[in-house]
Structure 1
C-alpha cells in the first residue's frame, strides 16, 4: 500500500512536478539577486526619515513600498505621467528602475498558475498535493528501507538507481515537504479557503484637517523602523480630509497628515502572521539565503523523477507477474520474494506458473508486503529470500523479519522458506535462516524444512520444487534458468606474477577502468562505483555461473585490480592467468558492504593470507588520511609469493601502513599467520582495547584458524570475535 501511494502520484504527476520544480528553482535565485542589488539599508532608520528624503526628491510621491528583500520602491506622478524607481534609503535618490523583469513576471505566472489563471492554480495545487504525498510516503519508505528512523543516515546500499533515489530523497525530503505544504497553503489562501484575520483598519471618523507637516516631524512614522515597513501611501494632494495609510509587518493604520499622530491601528491576527511565514518559507522573499537553499534542494526533484522512473522500470522488469495471478485474498498459494538484484523474482515466476499449470491459484508479492491477515484463502505461504552481504536482508526487505517474528500464525496456511545465496560467503543464506527461525519461534506450521539454493542453481531449484509438489500432493516441475548478469569488457593493462617457485601460480591483474557517465551507472550500465573488498564477478567462457574475486582497488584508484591464484582444474582462474596485456574479459561488480572499513580513527587490524591480501592492500592504498593500520600477512615464501611486498614498503614509508607483521610457511621457521598473531597477542589486545576493528580475508580454513586464535588472544580481555562482530568491529571475507 505504501509503495503504491508513493508510486502512482510520482508517475502520474511527474512532468507537472518537474515543470513546477524547475521553475521554482529559477525563481529562488531572484530574491538573492534582489537582496544583493538593492541599496544597503540604513541602520536604525525610521519611516519618518525615509519618507521625508523620498518626498524631497519626488515632491509628488504617492506611495513607498518595501519588499521583503529590503528593496524600497517609490511611485509618483509628474503631471499625468506616472513614475517609479528603486530608492536609495540613505539619500532618497533614485537607484534604479522599478520595472519588473518580463521573464520573472512570466516565470512567476507559470509557476503559480501555468499561465492559466484560476484553472492553472488548481492544477498546480494538485501537483503540490502529489509532491506532498510523494515526500511523506518517500520518507516512510526510506525509513523502512534503512530499518527504522534511527538509521535514517546509515549508509545505503543496493542497485545504483535505488541507492541514488534514496540518497537524494533523504537529503531533500524535508524541504520538498515544506515546499509542497506551503504551496497548498498559499493556494488555499488565494481562494479564501482559510480563516482571514489580516488587519484592515477602518478609515478614521475624524482627522485634524491640518496639512503641510513634514513626514520627518510625524511621531507615528518616527516610531516605525524601516525594517518593519510594508507600504506607506501618502494622502491625496490638497485633500485635508485624507490621511497617511501605513502598513507594517504587524498591522495597518492611518496617520494624521497635519499632526503626525496615529489615528487608527489594527493588528494582524495569528492567521495573517502564519501566512507571512508561509510566504517567506515558500518563496525565500525576505530570506535570500534560505531561498537559495530551497532552490538547491528542489533541484533534487528532477533527479528523483529520473531515478524513481528507473527504479519503477527495473522493478517491473525484475518482478514479473504471472498471467491470471489471483488477488492476495483469493490465492491458495502466496509467494513472497526478498531480492536485492531481482534475480529471485524469476524463480518465483517459474514456481507460480508451475502451480497454475497444476490447477492452483497463485499470488506473488514482495516480502516487504507480508500481511498474513490478508491471505484469507491461503493454504501455503512460500518465502523465497535472497541474502545480501554478511547475512543481511535485501534493502527493500529490512523490516520484513520483524513482521514475520511478530505475526500470529495463519489459521490454515503452512509456511516454507527457500534461501538464495552464494556458498562462498560465510553467512550463506543467513537471511533466509533468520526468517525460518523467526517463523518457527512464532509458532508457524512449517510445510518444508529450510532449503538453500547456491548461486541460482537451476538444478537445485528444480529438485526443491519437486519436493514441494510431494508435500502438497501435486506433481510440480518448476524450471528456471536465470539470465546471465550484465557484464562490461575489462581490458588487462598490467600483470605481476608470483608463486611459480612454490607451485602456486598467482598474479596481480590490473584492468583499465571502463569509462561510464553518471547516467550510465544509474541506469545499470558499465561498472558502478566500488571500493576495496567489493567483488568482481567474472563469467568464464563455457559457463554461466560467475566466479567472484575480491577487489584490491576502488573507483578512485582509476583501475580495476584483483589477485588470482590458479587452482588445479579451475576454469576461471586458468583463463584469467592466461591473459596478456591488451586482452579482455567480461566482468561486473557486486557490492560487499559488510567488508569495508569504518570511517573512524580507531586502529584497523588487517589479517590476510595468500590472495586474501588483495582487498587489504586496496584498503591500505586508500588510507590517505593516515589512519593507524596494522597488517598481519601470511604467505609461503618471501621470494616467491610475497604479494604487494614493494608496495607495502612504500605504504609503510608514507604512513599509510603503521606496522607490517609477516609469516612464511615455506621457510626454516615455518610460521603461519596464526603463529604470528599469538606472538603479538599483547599488541593485539592493546589495539582492540583502543576501539580497534579487525578485518580478515583469505581461505575458509585460514579464516577459521584466525578466528580461533583471536578468540584465545582476546579471552583475557573478556572479548571474542563474536562479540566484536556484534558491535560491528569484526568482518570476515573468506572463500
Structure 2
C-alpha cells in the first residue's frame, strides 16, 4: 500500500507538471550555457586579491574624463561605467591594475534574454511566475517521492547506491541518474521555489538603508586616492559594486557593496561614514540566485546543465514505464439618489478604469430595476435605505489608497448606518507590485470589524483587469444575489507603431528622455498615458506623456532590473515600438483656470513639460514645483523650459544646497498657495505616491492654518488632480 501511494503520488505530480517541467528543463539547459560561455571570455587578466581598490581607482581616473561606477562580476571580470576622454559614455571591461579598457560590455545575447523570460514566467508575467513557483515546488515533491521509491526498490537507505538489479533501459537509467542527480535537482527546485516566493514577498524582506545625515569626523586629506589607507587595504576581490560620488562635495560619498556589507566612504579621507551588514535574507537571496543560475562557476554550470537535461529523460522514461505497466493492467472503460438607494457602489480609482467598470455595473443594476447609487469612497456618508454595499477599489504603490479614497477608513469609524449592511469588496491591481490589492484588504478588514456590516462575498482581487477573474466574481455575485451582470467595460487595446526620434543619454540619476512620434495620426494630450509593450512581454508599462508640437516626450527612470526601461534606453533613432494611448482626461491642463499649481518629482515632470509649452499656457500663471536629488538631475529638463512663461519655478534638491524636499518649498509658499486655492486654482501632482502623500499632508496643513478648511473641501471642488504611481 505504501509503495503504491508513493508511486502514484510520484506519477501524478510528474504528469501534472510535465509540460512545465519540459519547458523549464530545456530553458535551463540553454541558460546553463551562458555562464559557461561567459567564463571563456578573456577578461580575467589578474588575481583580484593582489590588486588594491586604490590602484584601480587611480588608474581609472587617469585614463577617463569621469568614472561613474565599478562592478566585479561573478567571473571576476571588472566592469567600469565611464565617460572617456573624448566624452563618450561607455561600459567597458578593464584591466584592474592599469585601468585600460579590454573591450566594450555588450548586452546579453537575445537567445538568453528570450529564454530567461520563458524560464521565469512562460511570458505570462506574474501568473507565469506563480506557475513556475508551483512547478518548482512540485519538483521538490517529485524528487522526495522519487528517493523514497529508490530506497524501497533498492532494499533500504544503506543500499541506495548499491548494485542496480533492473535490466530495462528506461528503469535502469531512471534509477542511476536519479540517485546521482538527486541533490542538484533538489537545489534547483528549492532555489526556484525560494526565488518565486521572494518575487511575491513571501520571504523575509530586507533593505539596505544608510545614515546619510552623519557627517565626516576626519579632516580633509590633500593626498591622492592611492595614498588613503582604506582604499589601499581594500582588495578588488572583496568588492561587488562601487558607485562614485556625484560631485566633489565632501558630503557625496563612495557607495560600496562588499560581499557581506554595504559602505558609505568619504572620498577624501577614506573614513567609513555608514556601514550596514547584509541581513541573512539578503545572503539567502544571493546564494539562491547563484546556485540556481550557476554564475561564476563553470563546474556548477555544467552540473546544472546535466541536471536540467536529465529531467527530460526522467519524463520520457517515467512515461515509458507507466505505459508499460498499463499494458499489463486490466483496461477500464456555472440611478437612484443617495436617500432612496438600496445598493450603494463605492469606488476608489486613480487612473479611471476602476470607476469605468463600476459605472458599467451600476448601469446594469439600474436597468434591472435596482435602486443604485454610485459614489467615491471619499464621499462615504449615511445612506438611509441602503442594505448592500459593493466596493470596487484599486491600490497604488506600497498599499496606498487612491486619491478619491484617502478619507474612507477614517469616515467609516465615525459614520453610523441606519440599516444592517451586507458588503462585497473587489480589489483591482497588479501582481507586479509587492503589495497586490493591499488597500482593498484594508477596506475589507475594516468593514468586517465594524458593527452592522456582514460580508456578502469574501474579498476578491483582480490582477491587471483579468477578464476571467472578473467573470468569476460576477458569477459569485449572481449565486449570492440572483442578479446577472456582464463584464462589458474592459476591452482589448489597439496598439499603434511609434518611431523613435531621439533618446538622450542617462543622467546622474539614470534618467533619460525619449522622443517618439506615431506613424499615423492619433488624438492625445499632455497628461495622457502611453502603454508600451516591450518585446517578449505580455503586460504593457504605463508612462505619462508630454505632447510637444507633434511628438511625444517621455521622461524615464532606468532601473537595474527594469525590463521596459532597459529596453527603451537601448533604442536608437529610427527604431519602432508598439504602444497605445489611453486618454487621461482627469489630468489634462484645466481649460478655464487662469492660475495652475504644478507639483512633481523625478520623472513626474513629463506631462508638465508639455502643458507649459502649450500655446494657451502663455496667457496663464503657471507655478511649477519640482523635487530631485541635485542640480544635475534637473539639467535634463532645462531645454524645455527656456522659452516658457512660467510665473514661478521652485526647485528642491535633497542632496545639494539647502537639502530640502518639495513639501518644504510648498510650505515656504503657504500664503501664496492658500490664496490661489481660495481663488479656485487647481493643484496638479505627478510623480511618486510617497511624494504625493507628503505634499497633500503639507497642503492640508496649509488649508487648515490659512483658510480654516480641510483639504477635502478643495478635493470635492475638483481642485486637486493627481497622476501618481
Relative to the length of structure 2, the TM-score reads 0.42
Over alpha carbons, which structure has the higher Rg?
A: 1
When the two structures are superposed, what TM-score results if normalisation uses the length of structure 1?
0.42
